């Protein structure tokens, strides 16, 4: 076991080596933990300098041997100041972190470089995931780069753009029935059995959740590092989507590590926005018996996300499908940012909080946009009600355009 970093049981505190271990002997989640005092000097010298994600933050990323890193130039995504949405909500310092600018179009690329680099260190060449699309996209691309085998399961109602993106990289793509009323149990069973399924076949599980692979979520914390480096300090508030929960947990871990590294003194309020869905348990009610009877999907990192949000004094919010469509429309028509529905959850919550005057107008606020709209072009047809689009016109030349 290296004295620089180890795996730690999040319940008992037991330390384990940084090997291909995905759950603790006690059956609990594991977290990748660093000796931050030892890493502080190296991190402080590099994290605000130009460079790759690994060059800037490598002292608190594993593997430490960067010859094993699998990378496609992820990270260093833009932090763009809002103009028009900020004005509408009465905010003076609103920024968008455009994770859609990563190589395969989502923040999942950060997770992929962290986890697949560890897999390469272990000599593994086969990787698998159950995905709503973006992890499957990232896994397929990163495996293609090194000639590894990728096995991806997605629901048959996954956006066509995401399914095609997985296929073009040469991954093995498997479709399973989408979760429907009365069909939740088989869906849950896939996730429950996935880790054992992969372990029995010497395949690395690449679901982006601590209970499946603690190395995956490590890449997420680099979003926090970049936000603080660009602004010169941690923001006052962060609005982020909550899907499985690992993004909110990873953001909190990143800001918390900055404190341990002597680079920050506080954690911003992390506001997590979850889509309203009758099939999914709200993260604030993970222990409610009505959601633990096998009839609802429990977000794999839901408890971690909720604890992280509460520790930061943030809010847990929900957004309806209409709220999310409105957020997509605002981004596209007011800021020139095309986000997929899941990428706009955070803004949906931000709009609600802004309308309700729950945000200090002078606060520095960052909204994370997690994925690009080109992954789900059909969703664009659903938000035209907010900003009607000009229909295409057939013309013979410039004079026929009627300007």
> Tell me: the pLDDT tens digits for 30-81?
999 999 999 999 999 999 999 999 999 999 999 999 999 999 999 999 999 9
pLDDT (0 to 100) of residue 181: 65
pLDDT, position 212: 95
For the segment 268-278, the average pLDDT, to the nearest whole number, is 95
CA-based max dimension of the chain = 74
Integer Cα distance of 78 and 59 in angstroms: 23
Question: Which residues face 129 on adjacent strands?
Answer: 152
CA quadruple 120, 122, 123, 126: dihedral sign? negative
CA-CA distance, 15 to 3, in Å (whole number)? 11
Provide the 10 A C-beta neighbour count for residue 395: 10
- All domains of the chain, ordered by start, with CATH? 79-106+216-382 (3.40.50.1100)
Sheet containing 5-9, strands listed edge to edge, beginning at the edge strand earlier in sequence: 15-16, 5-9, 30-34
Cβ–Cβ under 8 Å, residues 137 and 165: yes
In the prediction, which pLDDT does 184 show?
Answer: 72
Please, which pLDDT band fits residue 183 given cuts at 50, 70 and 90?
low
Tell me which residue of 40, 12, 39 sits closest to 27, measured CA to CA. 12
Strands (E) located in 132-168: 149-155
**And the tokens for 183?**
């069909």
Query: Per residue in 282-337, pLDDT tens?
Result: 999 988 888 877 678 889 999 999 999 999 999 999 999 999 999 999 999 999 99
User: Taking all residues of the chain, what is their mean pLDDT, rounded to a whole number?
Assistant: 94
3-state SS track over 239-270:
EEEECCCHHHHHHHHHHHHHHHCCCCCCCCEE
- What is the band of 272 on the pLDDT scale with cuts at 50, 70, 90? very high
User: What integer pLDDT is reported at residue 26 of this predicted model?
Assistant: 97
Residues pairing with 154 in the sheet: 131, 175
Residue 400 pLDDT class (50, 70, 90 cuts):
confident
Cα–Cα nearest to 3, from 17, 23, 14, 24? 17
Over residues 191-208, mean pLDDT: 94
Please list the alpha-helical segments (H only) found in 147-220. 160-168, 184-200
Dist CA 129 CA 115 (whole Å): 12
Give the helix/strand (H/E) hosting 117. helix 108-121
Which whole number is the average pLDDT over 196-218?
Answer: 95
User: Measured between alpha carbons, how far is 281 from 209 in angstroms, rounded to an integer?
Assistant: 16
Confidence bin at 179 (pLDDT 50/70/90): confident
In percent, the amount of the chain with pLDDT more than 70 equals: 98
Mean pLDDT of all residues in 334-363: 97
Closest CA to 140 of 80, 77, 81, 206: 206
Q: How confident is the model at residue 1 (pLDDT cuts 50, 70, 90)?
A: low
Looking at residue 297, its pLDDT comes to 83
Q: pLDDT per residue over 376-395, tens digit each?
A: 888 888 887 888 777 888 88
Q: How many CB atoms lie within 10 A of CB 14?
A: 15
Please report, rounded to a whole number, the percentage of residues in the chain having pLDDT higher than 90.
Answer: 80
Q: Residues 79-119: pLDDT tens digits?
A: 999 989 999 999 999 999 999 999 999 999 999 999 999 99
* 158 token code pair: 């996954």
In the predicted structure, residue 175 carries a pLDDT above the cut 80: yes
The answer to whether the beta carbons of residues 75 and 66 sit under 8 Å apart is no
pLDDT at 402: 76
């Amino acid at each position: 076991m290296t004295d620089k970093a180890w795996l730690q049981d999040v319940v008992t505190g037991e330390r384990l080596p940084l090997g291909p271990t995905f759950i603790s002997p006690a059956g609990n989640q594991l977290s990748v933990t660093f000796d931050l005092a030892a890493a502080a000097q190296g991190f402080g010298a590099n994290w605000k300098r130009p460079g790759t994600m690994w060059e800037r933050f490598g002292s608190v990323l594993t593997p430490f041997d960067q010859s094993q890193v699998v990378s496609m130039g992820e990270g260093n995504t833009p932090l763009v100041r809002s103009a028009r949405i900020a004005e509408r909500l009465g905010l003076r310092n609103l920024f968008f972190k455009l994770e859609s600018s990563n190589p395969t179009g989502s923040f999942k690329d950060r997770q992929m470089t962290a986890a697949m680099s560890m897999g390469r260190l272990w000599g593994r060449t086969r990787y698998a995931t159950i995905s709503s699309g973006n992890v499957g996209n990232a896994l397929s691309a990163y495996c293609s780069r090194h000639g590894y085998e990728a096995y991806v399961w997605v629901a048959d109602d996954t956006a066509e753009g995401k399914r095609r993106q997985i296929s073009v990289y040469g991954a093995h793509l498997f479709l399973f029935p989408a979760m429907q009323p009365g069909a939740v149990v088989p869906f849950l069973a896939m996730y429950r059995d996935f880790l054992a399924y992969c372990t029995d076949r010497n395949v690395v599980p690449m679901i982006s959740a601590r209970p499946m692979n603690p190395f995956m979520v490590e890449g997420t914390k680099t979003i926090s590092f970049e936000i603080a480096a660009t602004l010169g300090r941690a923001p006052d508030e962060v609005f982020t989507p909550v899907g499985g929960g690992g993004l909110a947990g990873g953001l909190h871990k990143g800001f918390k590590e900055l404190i341990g590294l002597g680079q920050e003194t506080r954690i911003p309020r992390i506001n997590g926005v979850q889509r309203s869905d009758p099939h999914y348990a709200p993260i604030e009610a993970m222990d409610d018996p009505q959601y633990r009877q096998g009839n609802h999907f429990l977000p794999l990192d839901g408890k971690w996300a909720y604890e992280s949000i509460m520790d930061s004094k943030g809010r847990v919010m929900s957004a309806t499908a209409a709220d999310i469509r409105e957020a997509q429309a605002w981004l596209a028509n007011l800021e020139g940012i095309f986000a997929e529905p899941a990428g706009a959850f955070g803004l949906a919550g931000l709009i609600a909080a802004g309308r309700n005057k729950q945000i200090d107008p002078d606060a520095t606020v960052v909204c994370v946009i997690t994925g690009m709209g080109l992954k789900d072009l059909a969703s664009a047809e659903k938000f035209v009600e907010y900003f009607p689009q000009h229909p295409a016109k057939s013309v013979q030349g410039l004079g026929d355009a009627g300007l």
